[in-house]
Amino acid sequence: MDKKRLSRIMAKADPAAIAALAGTIRKEHDIVVIKAPGKTLAMVKMREPVKSSQFYIGEVIVTEAVVGLDGARGIAVVMGDDFEKTLNMAIIDAACNRGVFAGEAALLELERAQLELEQKENAMHLKTMVRFNSMDTEAQK
């Protein structure tokens, strides 16, 4: 699983689910906290749609952590201030980097549930969408 997908799944996941996955890794491996979870600021980059130029819209509080697991490093940066979840995400990242992570099936199940919820929310929003082209046809009559 690529890093972008892994990070997206873990960031959207419930902290308890991430804690459970990291807990199994903690039982089997020695974890060294290189950088304890801490708050910092990150710039949010946006793309302006007309000229397609990038600009910084502002800053957001993020929590970052770095851990070591049998010589491999794991890094996590999460928007917000959930220190425990960030540390657990870094542990899972380190296990993936080391090649010892056995919870990929659980992550895929989390991703499936997240996509299902997103589709339900999108369907609810579509019901309330206004179609302005129908107004144009009425004006032409």
Q: CA angle 134-135-140, nearest 5°?
A: 100
Count the neighbouring beta carbons within 10 Å of the beta carbon of residue 10.
25
**Strand, coil or helix: 101:** coil
For the residues 65-88, what does the mean pLDDT come to?
A: 95
Answer yes or no: pTM beyond 0.85: no
Structural domain boundaries enclosing 110: 3-140
Answer whether residue 90 shows pLDDT above 70.
yes
pLDDT level of residue 136 (50, 70, 90 thresholds):
low
Residue 62 near residue 53, CB atoms below 8 Å: no
What Rg value do the Cα atoms of the chain yield, rounded?
A: 20
- What tokens appear for 79 in the block? 């928007």
Total domain count, the chain: 1
For the residues 55-68, what does the mean pLDDT come to?
A: 95
Distance CA 87, CA 67 (A): 8
Cα torsion through 131, 134, 136, 138, rounded to 10: -150
Look at residue 131 in the predicted model and tell me its pLDDT: 72
